[in-house]
Structure 1
Amino acid sequence: MGKLWNHWYQIYVVIILHIKLIPLYGVWWLYRRFWNPETPPFWGVWCVQAGRVLWYISVLIWSVVLVAMILVP
């Protein structure tokens, strides 16, 4: 059957994560920056923070995947 963690699986995971996470972070950054930068609503602040956390997780996973693709034959 081969390894589940092959190169195509890694690429698929990375693409899906970035398609989902980058717009989530970007939308809330734009909202906070341009819509109401002084006093954003409480839920907006939490969504921006959640977007940042997801962005950092995405970058971390991207780095791990790149290392795995280099090290795993």
Structure 2
Amino acid sequence: MGYKRHPKKRYVDPSSRQMIYSKGRESILKKAIELSTLDDIDVGLLMFSPTGELTTYASKGRVEDMFLRYI
């Protein structure tokens, strides 16, 4: 049989949302670092948590400089 995709649901409980975000944040940051090192590309990442906390990543230099270069 095949892979059955389950529909995503929005978590209403703030503590559940924060827990899901923190797990996903680590995975996304790990993938961004992997892309920037293996493929030698510029990666800029901005993420906002459910509580409003900002997480940034830039493969080369500062995030602000990278986004200004492409705007």
Q: Do the structures match in fold with TM over 0.5?
A: no
Structure with greater proportional helix content: 1
Bigger Rg, structure 1 or 2: 1
TM-score by length of 2: 0.42
Structure with greater proportional strand content: 2
